[in-house]
Structure 1
Amino acid sequence: MLTIIHGADFHLDAPFAALTTEQAAQRRAEQRQLLDRLADLAQERRADLVLLSGDLLDGGQTYQETVQALARCLGSIPAPVFIAPGNHDFYTARSIYAGTAWPDNVHIFSTVAVEGVELPELGCVVHGAAFTTPQADRSPLMGFSAPRDGKIHLMALHGDVAGQGRYGPIDPEDIAASGLRYLALGHVHACSGLQKAGETFWAYPGCPEGRGFDETGDKGVLAVTIGDDPGQVTAEFVPLAGRRYEIRTVDVTGAESVEQALRAALPAAASPDCCRIVLTGQREEGRPDLAALTALAQPYYYSVTLRDQTRERRDLWDRAGEDSLTGLFLRTLRTGTAEGQDLELAARFGLAALENGEDPCL
């Protein structure tokens, strides 16, 4: 049985432009700590292999301490490590992949053509390819077929399954025809879970830590086990992130004030996470003071922003006199058989539908 740690899309040295200069520098330092947690996990799980499927580096600016941390951590892993460069950290003669002295256990794929490395002691072959430019409109899997030689064939690639763009589009039919036991992919920042095309299992681990509010929740890597039989493949998601990005919705309807509603929603203890709080529902007259509310919430999060999507409270029936479809609807509803809460709820859902809204609390 093989145990594999599969990671991708670390995007080390990302700019973190939405944070302060000091916080951005701290976040980049924290990204390097992800590498230590990766190495620790590989040792804890006694991994036979580590497959890193591209975009380890963000590509805009790479700091020397990051390169040193990457080489040190990967070299501390007591197993072969394979890197398939992606569109952000594509391989060139001037890239850090070519210009750095890497530990002996690290192999970096450097060509768009698929290369195979045999590991006789593990009874497997690890295949892989690299982006050599920021874009690639052809799948490296096209036409590939692993030999039926009794070995376990694996591959690390950066690409977009069923994608139509220029980031290594991979046809699921090519995965099914590849003859691979497991295809370790990178590029998609959400964990896909274990997938299958034909007899080939494949997965995206997602990024190991979010960098913005499009990458919320737990992030990490996959611990993959491969048995002797073709169908014996499992993948366990292992969280790795030190901080998370979270979006919280706070409904102010019925609260004495927006401030009261926000106070009630804040955590009991300070959180290490970055949070976006979206205020919704009905409020009394006057727009919320977002600067004051942000100052109230700031001590509870590493970083916090607020967005106001509230509406001023209005009487449910004050538009019944309008010469409009809305007015006609409300007048007709009031003459019907519904009463009390049923009548009010019917009016709210009806107004939401008429005005193309999703929230019935109008």
Structure 2
Amino acid sequence: MRKIKIMHMADFHIGLDISFLGNQSRFRKAEVLEGFRKTCSLANENNIDIILIAGDFLESSTIEPAYIAQVKSILEKVNAKVFIVAGNHDYISLNSPYMDEDWPANVHIFKNSWIEKVKLDDLNVDVFGASFTSTYQRESFLDSHYEIDDKKINIMVLHGDNTEDSLYNPMGISKIKDSKMRYIALGHIHKKPDLGMIGQTYFSYAGSPVGQSFNELGERSVMIIEIDQDHTSLSEMTINSKAFYREKINVSKMTSSKEAYDLIIQLISKKYGNYQDNYYQIILEGEIEEGIYFDFDVIEQLLGNLRYVKVIDETKVKLNYDRVRKEQSLKGIFVDKMLNLIEDAKYSEDEEKVLIYERAFELGLRALEGYRI
């Protein structure tokens, strides 16, 4: 038999309002939808037979009707057969968009909290799935009874945790091993994908195809699984959408806010090409000479041509502590007391206190120098 090509995705969270982005949240919401559109175009271009969407596809609490209509329109143009399960963010309910009757004919939504089977006889494949019907799913879907046809390629799509102690469909490695599936497509964990195997069953999380925070950095991807009667292979397909990036930049040699800004632009433009539309967390590091002042609000204003940027100050004030602690000044008294606390904590080998005092020392120095805390 020919190879079956499967595209596995999850955790798009289409319609999510990303509060920390402020006014930029609406742009990111549109970019996530565009990322899904691009993903479906890639499915057609690569002759994908089956698309598995493993939950949290929609953000049910905030998604607007117009977005739901666009999702249906995109799926209608897909050549593959599409299978969707609901997760904890888009669980099945009376008001769920998944209960609408106008989903395209090529889309099957699993609507029950027990495992069901759909036969694809033309592909010699059976697809199994189950959906969340509330925020939590304390019992494992894999405890459901379902019948396996050993002559078929059996694949499953689920949302949840591959641990035995979870409120979100606790599966556990032993349950995956006993599932008798060829491949289990998982959603819920946003980390980048990695193919696992236990017994005769391959399994993987898809990760998040489009980043939604600074915990989901860089280019993202979906999974492509190719299966025939004897072999299973996995690869990633990158979704080239605007991304979240975190950059640490040493500004020790800079003497002004403008110089720091110029260095930031120089580095990110060289590294990211069309850098303006990305989302950045810029962490400034290094030792700053006493008397040099960076206005981080000004730096963020200068970077206003970027879609989103947050500048985080992790610089340290470069001081001659032995000299300063002898000064008859507020700074001198503060430095002397904090150094004594740090030295005492080190002597007693209390590492937690050392870290706390060192951080308090640095923040106090910044406040005394007029830095933003």
TM-score, with structure 2 as normaliser: 0.82
Change (3 A) 1:257 1:47: same
Map of 1:347 onto structure 2: none
Please state whether the residue corresponding to 2:209 is helix, strand or coil: coil
Map of 1:20 onto structure 2: 22
Instruction: Tell me, in whole angstroms, the C-alpha distance in 2 between the residues paired with 1:8 and 1:165.
Output: 19
Which of 4, 10, 14 is equivalent to 2:6?
4
Map of 2:264 onto structure 1: 265
Cα offset, 1:88, TM superposition:
0.6
| Alignment check: 8 A CA contact 2:256 2:293 kept | no
Map of 2:347 onto structure 1: none
Cα offset, 1:30, TM superposition:
2.1
| Alignment check: 8 A CA contact 1:192 1:203 kept | yes
Counterpart of 1:234 in structure 2: which amino acid?
S
| Alignment check: 8 A CA contact 2:219 2:241 kept | no
Change (3 A) 1:178 1:53: same
User: Is 1:302 paired with 2:307?
Assistant: yes
Cα offset, 1:163, TM superposition:
5.7
Q: Percent identity?
A: 28
Q: How does 1:56-67 map to 2 (within 5 A)?
A: 56-67=57-68
TM-score, with structure 1 as normaliser: 0.84
Map of 2:221 onto structure 1: 220
Instruction: Tell me, in whole angstroms, the C-alpha distance in 2 between the residues paired with 1:66 and 1:218.
Output: 23
Instruction: Tell me, in whole angstroms, the C-alpha distance in 1 between the residues paired with 2:71 and 2:114.
Output: 25
Count residues in correspondence: 335
Instruction: Tell me, in whole angstroms, the C-alpha distance in 2 between the residues paired with 1:137 and 1:265.
Output: 47
Alignment root-mean-square deviation, CA: 2.8
Cα offset, 1:147, TM superposition:
2.3
| Alignment check: 8 A CA contact 1:221 1:238 kept | yes
Instruction: Tell me, in whole angstroms, the C-alpha distance in 2 between the residues paired with 1:32 and 1:104.
Output: 21
User: Is 1:88 paired with 2:89?
Assistant: yes
| Alignment check: 8 A CA contact 2:116 2:146 kept | no
Counterpart of 1:296 in structure 2: which amino acid?
L
Cα offset, 1:148, TM superposition:
5.0
Instruction: Tell me, in whole angstroms, the C-alpha distance in 2 between the residues paired with 1:169 and 1:155.
Output: 15
Please state whether the residue corresponding to 2:141 is helix, strand or coil: coil
Change (3 A) 1:25 1:324: closer
Change (3 A) 1:313 1:87: same
User: Is 1:290 paired with 2:296?
Assistant: yes
Which ranges of structure 1 fall in alignment gaps of 5 or more residues?
Answer: 329-351
User: Is 1:249 paired with 2:251?
Assistant: no
**Deviation string, structure 1 residues 152-182 (Cα, Å, up to 9, x no partner):** 1000000111162311121111001111000
**Deviation string, structure 1 residues 81-139 (Cα, Å, up to 9, x no partner):** 00011111111232111124111110000111100001111011000000001111111
Which ranges of structure 2 fall in alignment gaps of 5 or more residues?
Answer: 327-335, 345-350, 363-373
Structure with bigger helix share is: 2
Cα offset, 1:20, TM superposition:
3.4
Cα offset, 1:214, TM superposition:
1.6
Instruction: Tell me, in whole angstroms, the C-alpha distance in 2 between the residues paired with 1:270 and 1:42.
Output: 26
Q: How does 1:138-149 map to 2 (within 5 A)?
A: 138-142=139-143, 147=148, 149=150
Instruction: Tell me, in whole angstroms, the C-alpha distance in 2 between the residues paired with 1:270 and 1:276.
Output: 17
Counterpart of 1:306 in structure 2: which amino acid?
V
